[in-house]
Amino acid sequence: MPRLTSCLCAAALALAVASPALAQDPAPRGEKAFQAADTNGDAKITRDEYLAEAKKRAEMRFLKLDANNDGVLTKDELLKPGKPRAPRPDKTQAPAAQ
């Protein structure tokens, strides 16, 4: 029985220590996108930085669409439906109280 109590106490302590870290929200999507585009870290996105990030995203999207990896998009590849996205939260509603 003392061993069970020790294990339960250890688990409770681990949960108590980890819970604040688990409760923190990850950086919002826009923040991550801004940081990715702001390559020199000056908290500003220049035209060149913006275009470079847009090119990277366009290249990644092209690679996803090019199903047979031939470097050419056919009409079928371009119009093929992708994975359905999860519904976005309605931004007109106030966030739920915690």
Does the pLDDT value for residue 7 go beyond 50? no
Q: Per the domain annotation, does 7 fall within a domain?
A: no
Q: Per the domain annotation, does 31 fall within a domain?
A: yes
Which pLDDT does position 87 carry in this prediction?
Answer: 74
The arithmetic mean of pLDDT across residues 13-34, rounded, is: 70
Q: Per the domain annotation, does 85 fall within a domain?
A: no
Which pLDDT does position 28 carry in this prediction?
Answer: 83
Task: List the domain range (segments joined by +) for residue 71.
Answer: 26-80
Q: Per the domain annotation, does 71 fall within a domain?
A: yes
> Read out DSSP for the chain?
-HHHHHHHHHHHHHHHHHHHHHHSPPPPHHHHHHHHH-TT-SS---HHHHHHHHHHHHHHHHHHH-TT-SS---HHHHHS--PPPPPPP-TTSPPPP-
Contacts of 79 (CB under 8 A, 6+ apart): none
**Structural domain total, the chain:** 1
Which pLDDT does position 42 carry in this prediction?
Answer: 97
Q: Per the domain annotation, does 98 fall within a domain?
A: no
Mean pLDDT of the chain: 79
Query: For residue 48, what is the domain's CATH number?
Result: 1.10.238
Tens digits of residue pLDDT in 41-76: 999 999 999 999 999 999 999 999 999 999 999 999
Residue with tokens 């990277």: 56
